[in-house]
DNA sequence: CGACTTTTTCCTGTTACGGTAAATAACGGG
DNA sequence: CCCGTTATTTACCGTAACAGGAAAAAGTCG
């Protein structure tokens, strides 16, 4: 059980509905933890059965009623106990790395395309982290404990994305050096002389 | 199906038994992909059923007979096709990050302990990567395509571990600054005056 | 003899992931 | 009035992954 604890962690900030949680898992905590709404609703039921959270129905007009979930004291305790256990370092499990491991048995062109897409992806994410950092922590310092955690997270995220983006560039360069082609050459779609 | 493809990727290097694969998933590729022997044997059966690999029994004396698995042409094709599809960037899913996200609702002492353990862990891994790099690529350059992939992987791994280790240090420093304690103070095991 | 290595297999769970779908409730367009 | 959309929750399906416990078969080492 880890997704459940991630949800508990989210609910420490403020009570939320499953719908809000799903959106949260699409932005802030979702930067390093993916979960779709089905997973979240399922986990919420389990947490409620366990007594770790408590739902309060809020009647709305104009929208379906919503269930706002709040941490119970038991939930807080459970979270603290979970957080007191040593964490297990997760393994990366990135398809891209597996492909690099079998580099001489796969086609390089699609790999190159993939690397370029990933480069863009990680650059985007890096820019996004930097944007949030500048907005939430213009001084680069945190005041409260909650802020400190999020500042550290954002910094780690930014650095990670930066590093992976650099890696993609490097890999692309190395592939180009190996195949003797220029890095991208998307222009000049005319005739191309053979390379051997 | 990703573990299956990781196994196929391993088998491109040379035919292997499940036992050898389990050990491989404990060192080289295991640096970024964890799988125990049960998972591997189960996946091998599936791959064999699919015709992607082929087992050849080798009679041994002194040891139980072993099943050496080789990639079939279909397996090679499947791997190439899989590698030609765009990769999906995996999310980190590290407990430690969730805990930082809920920093103001958890106990800091165990978190500190955890961070120190992680710091050591990532430093060890970094040293290990560097060791292998120096041994396999003393020049820092690769010759063949297979070598290039592994060189890139090792470099990425080394940088990643370095970065996470730095992060742990930084987080520890920040926590210390916040609680007003010194970073570790493991020496001087004599009497320790109460802290409040 | 017992402990250990090598090698494979089977078992039982839980957790996670993915897709498809629907029910409820209102709003707005054509 | 039907249709689509947004907000909100729930259901069911299957597969993949992870965790752990067990054992069998053949030999070596102490």
A93:B32 CB<8 A = yes
Distance CA B72, CA A107 (A): 18
Q: What is the pLDDT of residues B82-134, one digit of tens each?
A: 999 888 888 888 889 999 999 999 999 999 999 999 999 999 999 999 999 99
Number of H helices, E strands in chain A: 7, 2
- Map tokens 């880890």 to a residue: A2
Q: Which residue among B84, B105, B129 closes a domain?
A: B84
- Whose C1' is closest to the CA of A42: which nucleotide? D10
Return positions of chain D under 7 A from a protein CB: 6-12, 15-22, 24-28
Contact B168, B118 (CB under 8 A): yes
Distance CA B110, CA B140 (A): 40
Say whether pLDDT at A86 is over 70: yes
- Strand partners of residue B56: B68
Return positions of chain C under 7 A from a protein CB: 5-11, 14-21, 23-27
Question: Angle at Cα B39 formed by Cα B33 and Cα B42, nearest 5°?
Answer: 135
What CATH number did the domain enclosing A19 receive?
A: 1.10.10.10
Contact B102, A149 (CB under 8 A): yes
Say whether pLDDT at B192 is over 60: no
Q: Which residue of A has its CA nearest to B73?
A: A105
State the pLDDT at residue A31: 84
Using 50, 70 and 90 to split pLDDT, how confident is the model at A191?
Answer: very low
Residues A77 and A142 in one domain: no
> Structure tokens of A193?
């002389």
- Please report whether residue B193 resides in a domain: no
Residues A38 and A79 in one domain: yes
State the pLDDT at residue A1: 61
Q: Which residue among A52, A84, A116 closes a domain?
A: A84
- Please report whether residue A23 resides in a domain: yes
B106:A93 CB<8 A = no
- Please report whether residue B194 resides in a domain: no
Using 50, 70 and 90 to split pLDDT, how confident is the model at A194?
Answer: very low
Q: Which of B27, B94, B105, B112 to mutate to test the interface with A (most CBs of A within 10 A)?
A: B105
Residues B38 and B114 in one domain: no
- Please report whether residue B184 resides in a domain: no
Say whether pLDDT at A192 is over 90: no
Q: Which residues span the domain enclosing B79?
A: 3-84
Using 50, 70 and 90 to split pLDDT, how confident is the model at A169?
Answer: very high
Averaged pLDDT for residues A8-21: 92
B33:A150 CB<8 A = no
Contacts of B85 in chain A (CB under 8 A): 110
Residues A76 and A108 in one domain: no
Residues A125 and A68 in one domain: no
State the pLDDT at residue B193: 42
Give kind and range of the element (H or E) at residue B55.
Answer: strand B53-58
Domain count, chain A: 2
Residues B63 and B21 in one domain: yes
Averaged pLDDT for residues A46-70: 84
Contact A8, A52 (CB under 8 A): yes
- Please report whether residue B186 resides in a domain: no
Residues B118 and B55 in one domain: no
């Amino acid at each position: 059980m880890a997704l459940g604890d991630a949800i508990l962690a989210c609910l420490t900030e403020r009570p939320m509905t499953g719908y809000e949680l799903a959106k949260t898992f699409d932005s802030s905590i979702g930067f390093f933890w993916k979960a779709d709404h089905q997973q979240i609703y399922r986990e919420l039921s389990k947490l409620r059965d366990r007594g770790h959270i408590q739902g309060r129905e809020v009647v709305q007009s104009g929208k379906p009623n919503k269930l706002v979930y709040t941490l119970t004291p038991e939930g807080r305790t459970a979270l603290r106990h979970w957080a007191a256990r040593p964490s297990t370092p997760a393994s990366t499990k990135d398809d891209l790395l597996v492909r690099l491991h079998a580099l001489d048995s796969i086609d390089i062109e699609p790999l190159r395309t993939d690397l370029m897409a990933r480069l863009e992806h990680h650059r985007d994410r890096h820019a996004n982290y930097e944007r949030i950092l500048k907005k939430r922590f213009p001084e680069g310092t945190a005041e409260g404990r909650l802020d400190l955690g999020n500042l550290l997270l954002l910094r780690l995220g930014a650095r990670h994305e930066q590093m992976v983006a650099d890696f993609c560039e490097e890999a692309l360069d190395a592939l180009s050096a190996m195949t003797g082609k220029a890095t991208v050459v998307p222009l000049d779609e005319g005739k191309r002389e053979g390379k051997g």
